[in-house]
Copies of this chain bind each other. A is one copy, B any other.
Amino acid sequence: MELEETIKQIKPLDHAAMESARARQDTLTKPRGSLGRLEELSIQLAGITANPLPSVERKTVIVMAADHGVTREGVSAYPAEVTPQMVSNFLRGGAAINVLARQANARVVVVDMGIAGEISRSRLKRDLLERRIGSGTANLAQGPAMTPEQAEESIQRGIEIAEAEIARGADILATGDMGIGNTTPAAAIACALMNQPPENIAGRGTGVDDEGLKRKIAVIARALDVNKPNGNDPLDVLTKVGGFEIGGLAGVILAAAANRKPVVVDGFISTAAAMIAVALASATRDYMIAAHVSQERGHKLMLEWLGLNPLLDMNMRLGEGTGAALAFHLIEASTRILREMATFDEAGVSEKSD
């Protein structure tokens, strides 16, 4: 679907399915509400899928990678060559996201949205989806990161990839990212949309020191000053201070919502993408599950802006979709509870005496 049509397709949750799931929860052999967030999750999933007994058996993590011109400003602890190196690692199955996705029985889809360097081993490239918008973004500290056409195209590619995964049978999607330097555009997006100063949002990313963090905050301040992104226009924000993988992930999230599939939003980068998606279509929020609160400075504020309550708090800050892969277990637990637990009647258990 085209972006405009996708946005139009995003409807409210199905309240009848939610009521039905809630009613079933209250017949299961446990005190009402005693499974807390597991119960709430199952009800949200019923609303998302319009199915009173939702399933999240078939899981896909979409990991989008791209490079960032702003790395020339010295905002990252790692050199830009690490982006293609880590993508090769994803394709060989050796990265954290591969390990955690295997455990969760989830498929990993790796997308090149605009890596600058070369992916080393050509035989691995068969498994890489090439949807390159460019060879890395321009340096957002000096001008727009991309053109408005590239911004829209990045979202469009994300929509197409998500739709292909849903057509393949995915019950639930999750977002992941790889891109050296990408906490800088993610923070800049959050600053622009929330009207927050960079020092409230920017963090250490992969691990810059005090001086590096200062430099990063100054770079974001300069980017906002040079580009003047319009916080009421998410496409303008993505164009001026975004990244190709962030646009792609916003597209994945919008397509999930338009197709009534839950989407698990990972950490800092994915949440910036989620903010773009919600700014484009506010109902998208209800289709999201926030996996975890990351250690990265502004993440908590960003989740609050979205109105999302993260499932996990594990002091993680890796990205790749690792938090989302962990959250899959909890989300699946919620659906299994709804499907597999005995009711008071079935089990012959006495109900509460009131």
A13-21, A74-82, A246-254 - interface stretch: A74-82
Residues of B within 8 A of A313 (CB): 313
Residues of B within 8 A of A82 (CB): 349-350
Q: Is A342 engaged at the interface, CB distance under 8 Å to the other chain?
A: yes
From known contacts A31-B77, A32-B207, infer whether A37 and B347 are also in contact, taking CB-CB under 8 Å.
no
Are A85 and B31 within 8 A (Cβ)? no
Q: Is A316 engaged at the interface, CB distance under 8 Å to the other chain?
A: yes
Are A341 and B99 within 8 A (Cβ)? yes
From known contacts A31-B78, A32-B207, A326-B333, infer whether A346 and B96 are also in contact, taking CB-CB under 8 Å.
no
Tell me, in angstroms, the Cα distance from A89 to B349 when the chains sit together: 8
Q: Report the interface size class on chain A.
A: 35 or more
Q: Is A86 engaged at the interface, CB distance under 8 Å to the other chain?
A: yes
Q: Is A92 engaged at the interface, CB distance under 8 Å to the other chain?
A: yes
Residues of B within 8 A of A120 (CB): 348
Are B342 and A89 within 8 A (Cβ)? yes
Are A347 and B85 within 8 A (Cβ)? yes
Q: Is A301 engaged at the interface, CB distance under 8 Å to the other chain?
A: no
- Stoichiometry (number of copies): 2
Residues of B within 8 A of A29 (CB): 86, 89, 94-96
Tell me, in angstroms, the Cα distance from A100 to B36 when the chains sit together: 14
Q: Is A122 engaged at the interface, CB distance under 8 Å to the other chain?
A: no
Are A337 and B96 within 8 A (Cβ)? yes
Are B89 and A207 within 8 A (Cβ)? no
Within 8 A of B (CB), among A67-105: 77-79, 81-82, 85-86, 88-89, 92, 94-96, 98-100, 102-103
Interface residues of A: mostly helix, strand, loop or mixed?
loop
From known contacts A34-B317, A35-B316, A94-B347, infer whether A352 and B89 are also in contact, taking CB-CB under 8 Å.
no
Residues of B within 8 A of A34 (CB): 206-207, 316-318
Q: Is A322 engaged at the interface, CB distance under 8 Å to the other chain?
A: yes
Within 8 A of B (CB), among A174-216: 206-207, 209
Q: Is A222 engaged at the interface, CB distance under 8 Å to the other chain?
A: no
Are B31 and A341 within 8 A (Cβ)? no
Residues of B within 8 A of A81 (CB): 350
Q: Is A332 engaged at the interface, CB distance under 8 Å to the other chain?
A: yes
Which of A36, A330, A350, A353 counts the most chain B CB atoms within 10 A?
A: A36
Q: Is A354 engaged at the interface, CB distance under 8 Å to the other chain?
A: yes
Within 8 A of B (CB), among A310-334: 311-318, 322, 326, 329-330, 332-333
Given contacts A38-B316, A103-B329, A312-B330, 6 further A-B contacts (CB under 8 A): A29-B96, A31-B317, A36-B314, A94-B346, A95-B347, A326-B333
Q: Which 8 A-B pairs have the closest CB atoms?
A: A94-B342, A36-B315, A329-B329, A31-B206, A34-B318, A37-B314, A85-B349, A89-B347
